[in-house]
A and B are shown apart, each in its own frame.
Chain A
Amino acid sequence: MIRIALIIGMVASCTLGHATTIVIGAKESVTRIKDAIALAQPGDTLLIKPGIYREGNIILQKPLTIKGEGYPVLDGENQYEIFTIHTNHAVIQGLKFINTGISSINDLAAIKLLESQQIKILQNKFENTFFGIYLANSSHVWIEENELQAQAEFEHQIGNGIHLWKCNNITIDKNKVVGHRDGIYFEFVTNSLITNNHSEGNMRYGLHFMFSNNDEYRNNTFMNNGAGVAVMYTKEVTMVNNSFIHNWGSSAYGLLLKDIRDSKITGNSFLENSVGIFMEGSSRNHIQQNKFYQNGYALKLQASCDDNIISKNNFQQNTFDLVTNGSLVLNKIEANYWDRYEGYDLNKDKTGDIPYRPISMYGTIVERMPQAILLWRSFLVLLLDKAEKAMPILTPENLMDVSPAMLPYDFN
């Protein structure tokens, strides 16, 4: 065992010792990236000088470090995929990718990883790319500090910003994705960490994942996306301290949870979304210490959800705090702060002495007849809600928070 390690060590030091840097540029001996890749030995570094490189599809099958100096531009001329990578231990850093081809058959990307491992994609810029970074069957990849920007008018003209299919152990950190179809797309991606990303103005979802268990999302911001964030058919996801802001539209959700189990949604902010969280067919999730502020519906809880715990959240200035389409009470709602709560706290334990029913009659009416939203803040609605509070007819009587907080929680 020790001997094997020794041999590997020797081989490694050998190759590292001979590692060279090939400089590519219009005034250098090597002018094309493809030539440099052909010349290079595994472990070499390619340093690309500023300039525009139009070389069609570049295929990388060697473990190389490719670095740009002053963001050299790699132009796909609206025809080609730019980098196709099938190797382990490679680094792509400091490049600017523009104008990949657009195809409805092939998923053309600026950087595509196929069955690769130990890859780092760092500090690159992407403009007007169909897919930005595309990973399939890869693992141990770091995607950090990239900026992806696209402008498309229609959903079919554009691919996803960061697209992952069947991957594991991926780190996606501090990237910015703007104007793609889905900002970040995961399908069958496990044990991955998504942190500090900013996904804004994407046509469909800011973040979209399916069948991606045991992932963790922290400190990301999802803003102004066509349909917000959708997470589906997944278990054991952790979503902490993310911001879901201004996802606006008739089918836009801050966060859409469909068939999600045993997950944790904590410390997130939901601001100005048409629907803060929409939950369907989801069970055993903890929704805690989130802030729901100025959403149309803070929480839409479909009757197909059960055993979820919704506690210690702040509900403030939402049009409707909670709506549901069922009458059974299968979830636990407790100790939240509701700014509409009108109860009292005689024993001064900071918990309201009478339960709060977060479902308003008008909310139920609007849920059934969306046009009725026109009557919001009218005298009639005020009267209806008061009447319903006194004598529940339309709203489930037992759906209530028995220990509402008197003051909003301070999550900062």
Chain B
Amino acid sequence: MALDQVNLELKGGKSYALIGPNGSGKTTLIKSILGLVVPTSGNIQFTGKSILNDWKYREKIGYMPQIGRYPENMRVGQLFEMMKHIRKDKPKVDEELLDAFKLYKIYDKRMHALSGGMRQKVSASLAFLFHAPVLILDEPTAGLDPVSVEILKEKIIREKRMGKLLIITSHILSDLDEIATEMVYMFEGRIQYSNSIENLKAETNESKLNKAIATLIRQRELLESVTE
């Protein structure tokens, strides 16, 4: 999905919910921030510096992809070893999730033998591993069992309290309700709405985030049909 005229500022200490229908450009936006997708025009800055042709800034980002893709022949343990090895500059690692998910039990399993949920656990553990001040989580709870979802949510909230910048996309809006403070709504590659969740709820007179968003979308559609 191509992004079109996206103008967005994400501030430290806040947590952003990135919302939008399938194919609205959420993942593309995240990938652009990570430098996985290179914009044809425009600029992305990280702490005031352009990220184009830069890669150092990524050490400050912990990323949990929507679909975790890993070398299939690698064992889970090897994967963690490798990631630690490649980022030798970070001697202190955060293995809270690793322990909470009991991943050491599956250290001998090869990646291709893992279920979707297991993979998600690996991805999540990797994202938090290096104490990154910015966390980008793409559908973090998808495919996880309820217990693991709770573990992950608690971890996210803890991190948030430490003043980290969080960017989260999810279809399960109730999850976001507890975590996010800001909301960015994307549609067809554009940012349709960007505001704090408090304001959104006030605007739509709804107390639940999912209701508020549903109302917002209806309003937008109405507006568009009129302008057309």
Touch between A and B in complex, CB under 8 Å?
Answer: no
A interface residues (Cβ-Cβ under 8 A, vs B): none
